[in-house]
Amino acid sequence: MTEDSFTALMLLSTALFVVGLFGVLARRSILIQLLSLEVALAGPSLAFITAGARHADAGGQAMFVMILILAAAEVALGLALYLRLRRTADGTDSDSLSSLRH
């Protein structure tokens, strides 16, 4: 792997993470936030794979698989919570969920 491609891939992963972060912070809908979280997760996974390729270490690929599993579990849980919240509160406004007791 060349230096340039390494740098470019790292920049790409950073960009992915920032976009995802921005989405979580800027959007109020819970579904959109979950979506943004997925995008944000893509960033570090790409970074891990790039680093693994760079150092010819299979650990990067292993980390990617772990992140995948993590993302899957998190999405499952998140979607379940979203479905639940849609019933009791408005699912499009996460700001209204600001106190521990409703």
Partner 1 sequence: MEVFGLVLTYNHLLLTIPSIALAGFVMLGLDPFRLRDFEVRALALIGGVGPLIPMLVFANACFHGQCTGMVPIFTLKVGESTVALALQMDPLAALVGLTVCVIGAAVILFSVAYMQGTALPDLRRFFALMHLFLAGMLTMVLAGDSIVLFLGWELMGLCSYLLIAYNTTSAEAIRAGRKAFIMTRVADAFLLAALLLLFLEANSVRLDHLIPAGVAAQDGMRPIIAALLLGGAIGKSAQVPMHTWLPSAMAGPTPVSALLHSATMVAAGAVLLMRFSPIIQAEPVVMAIGAGLGALTAIFGAAAALFQQDIKRLLAYSSISQIGYMMLAIGVGAPEAAAAHFVVHAIFKSLLFLSAGHITHHSPRGTDIMAMRGASQRNPLAFLAFSAGAASLAGLPVITGGWWSKEAMLGAVWGVEPALWTVAVLAAVLTAAYATRAVLIAAMPDPGSHDGHADHDDSHDTGYTLVPLAFLGFGALLAGGLVEPIMHLLGAHVPHAPLFTILVASIAPLVGVAIAFALAYVPALANGLQRARDIARRTRRRPRRQDKPAGFWVRIALAFSRGLRIDTLYQIVFVWPFVKLVRWLNGYGRGVADPAGNLPAMAALRLQRAITAPFAPDWIDRTWTAFGGRILALWAALRRLQTGRARDHGLYMAAGTAGLLLLAWGLTWH
Helix (H), strand (E) at residue 52: helix 30-54
Nearer to partner 1, 57 or 93 (CB): 93
Among 2, 3, 88, 98, binds partner 1 (CB under 8 A): 98
Binding mask 5-24 for partner 1 (x = CB under 8 A): ----------------x--x
Query: Counting Cβ atoms within 10 Å, is residue 87 exposed (0-12), middle (13-18) or buried (19+)?
Result: exposed
Rounded least distance, CB 94 to partner 1, Å: 5
Q: Which helix (H) or strand (E) holds 33?
A: helix 30-54
* First CA to last CA distance, the chain: 54
Contacting residues toward partner 1, per CB under 8 A: 21, 24-25, 28, 33, 94-95, 97-100
